[in-house]
Structure 1
């Protein structure tokens, strides 16, 4: 499903533990690390797609997590030209994503990367809150920074964790919709 502007509707998941550290996973058979994310089906709401993707990619269900917040609209990124499949119609030029901040309620032993028939990740770890914004593939960096800026005040207030913003990062609440 591609919208009229060429963007694929998608959801992104930022999973946080009680120490304010984030779930960071390596794509199977690749060196790229990222947050769980995935496309929305035409009959799904962003929340429904998020729970489906969460279970497919991490093995976690609704009872394992608490939704703390979501972005108040779509965050977009464009694919680099080398990644655009110009021969496909409609042509997808990027993704538009609603991001969700989830708190892990269970032990990390509940995470199962092999929960689906086609696992997307082969390794995961907890990382410092701002780490993903500097270490994700460059074309996703802006979206990661915006999502984390939205979620930082929620993590600090709900988990009572102080997050040190990296140099050059503006920390402000951009109107994140708390769930």
Structure 2
């Protein structure tokens, strides 16, 4: 068993992107054999503002530019998740035990044709719009609690 006191949480941000019908954007990762879907999220660059990082991650992962989204609200506190022990020190090759994320709710102002997974460094093999209440069952098990917290933080704004 690893001594987790040596590991900290990677600074990160995520976006719950909602369309006009109230559905949430999810993508299926290229690097996973699981039938798991996730919202756009990722690590922050050194000194990067969480909102800028979330919008950068959105564009890098989905091809959706920041001009096609409107930030509705920000989660009032950071949310964390822990990686399974066998992935700690492997996923990011650094001393991270998981991520501490700042989440944003954003409205998608574009059209489905604006989504382009063929980005310079693709992360997703497929995407779709999902019902918000289906999200916790769609994500990898170790992020389920995090997704429940994101939903609770934004439910009043959906």
TM-score (norm 1): 0.79
Cα distance in structure 2, aligned partners of 1:151 and 1:143: 13
Judged with a 3 Å threshold, the aligned counterparts in structure 2 of structure 1 residues 108 and 144 are, in CA distance, closer, same or farther, namely: same
1:1-179 mapped onto 2 (5 Å cutoff): 6-30=8-32, 31=34, 32-85=36-89, 91-115=95-119, 117-155=120-158
SS in 2 for 1:130: helix
Please list the CA deviations of residues 126-179 of structure 1 after superposition, one character each: whole Å capped at 9, or x if unmatched: 111111112211110111000111111011xxxxxxxxxxxxxxxxxxxxxxxx
Q: Which runs of 4+ in 1 moved over 2 A?
A: 29-32
Q: CA RMSD in A?
A: 1.7
Deviation at residue 24 of structure 1 after TM alignment: 1.1
CA contact (8 A) 2:28 2:124 kept: yes
TM-score (norm 2): 0.89
CA contact (8 A) 1:14 1:36 kept: yes
Q: Which residue of 1 aligns with 2:3?
A: none
The total of aligned residue pairs comes to: 150
Q: For structure 2, which runs of at least 5 residues remain unmatched after alignment?
A: 1-5
CA contact (8 A) 2:26 2:39 kept: yes
Judged with a 3 Å threshold, the aligned counterparts in structure 2 of structure 1 residues 104 and 90 are, in CA distance, closer, same or farther, namely: closer
Deviation at residue 5 of structure 1 after TM alignment: 5.9
CA contact (8 A) 2:7 2:95 kept: no
Cα distance in structure 1, aligned partners of 2:49 and 2:124: 24
Cα distance in structure 2, aligned partners of 1:100 and 1:28: 24
Which structure is higher in strand share? 2
Mean Cα displacement is larger for which, 60-69 or 4-13?
4-13
